[in-house]
């Protein structure tokens, strides 16, 4: 353009410089807008990635909530079963006590009849066996209080190491 400057009129020169300026401005503007578009695209991709991670996290939390709710329902069922079993054991124990007393009274009235006494002895033994069974069931169903006491930490560690010693040897530890 500078080579042909001397042959152009001042208006043509002005027009040429204006065109060059406009081309530069349009080029700069295009570059600027392209860079802004790239930045917006990166932000969009980042927000899309974050959104996907959040959706996955929500899914995992929902699954965990469902699992915990299932465990709660199972615990409630087991608790209800425990209460029902304890009530049933008590209901068994009541007639069992009446039967035992009735058998004892029968033994006193028929003490001279050997056959009746023998049957009553067997019935009393079976009543006692059933009573023990119900007592064991109730003690199993009843939660135990933890036993608290002092223990030497070294002794506890020695017992723990003794329990896992075979696995340690197997792993060459």
Q: What is the pLDDT of residues 55-79, one digit of tens each?
A: 999 999 999 999 999 999 998 988 8
Burial of 139 (0-12, 13-18, 19+ CB in 10 A): exposed
Contact 90, 141 (CB under 8 A): no
- Average of per-residue pLDDT across 133-159: 81
How far is it, in rounded angstroms, from Cα 96 to Cα 92?
6
* Arithmetic mean of pLDDT over the chain: 87
User: Domains of the chain: which residue ranges?
Assistant: 9-142
Other C-beta atoms closer than 10 Å to the C-beta of 46 total: 10
Give the pLDDT score at 3: 63
| Residues of the chain above pLDDT 90, percent | 32
- Confidence class of residue 41 from pLDDT cuts 50, 70 and 90? very high
Residue 1 has pLDDT above 60, yes or no: no
Determine contact, residues 109/117, Cβ cutoff 8 Å. Answer: no
**103 within 8 A of 124, measured Cβ to Cβ:** yes
pTM passes above 0.75: no
């Amino acid at each position: 353009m500078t080579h042909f400057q001397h042959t152009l009129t001042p208006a043509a020169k002005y027009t040429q410089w204006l065109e060059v300026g406009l081309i530069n401005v349009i080029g700069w503007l295009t570059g600027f807008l392209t860079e802004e578009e790239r930045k917006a695209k990166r932000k969009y991709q980042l927000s899309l990635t974050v959104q996907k991670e959040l959706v996955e996290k929500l899914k995992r939390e929902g699954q965990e909530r469902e699992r915990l709710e299932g465990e709660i329902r199972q615990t409630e069922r087991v608790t209800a079963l425990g209460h029902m079993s304890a009530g049933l054991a008590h209901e068994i124990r009541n007639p069992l006590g009446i039967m035992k007393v009735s058998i004892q009274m029968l033994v006193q009235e028929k003490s001279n009849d050997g056959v009746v006494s023998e049957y009553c002895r067997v019935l009393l033994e079976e009543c006692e066996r059933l009573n023990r069974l119900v007592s064991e069931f109730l003690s199993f169903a009843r939660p135990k209080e933890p036993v608290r006491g002092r223990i030497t930490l070294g002794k506890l560690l020695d017992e723990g190491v003794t329990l896992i010693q075979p696995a340690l040897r197997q792993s060459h530890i």
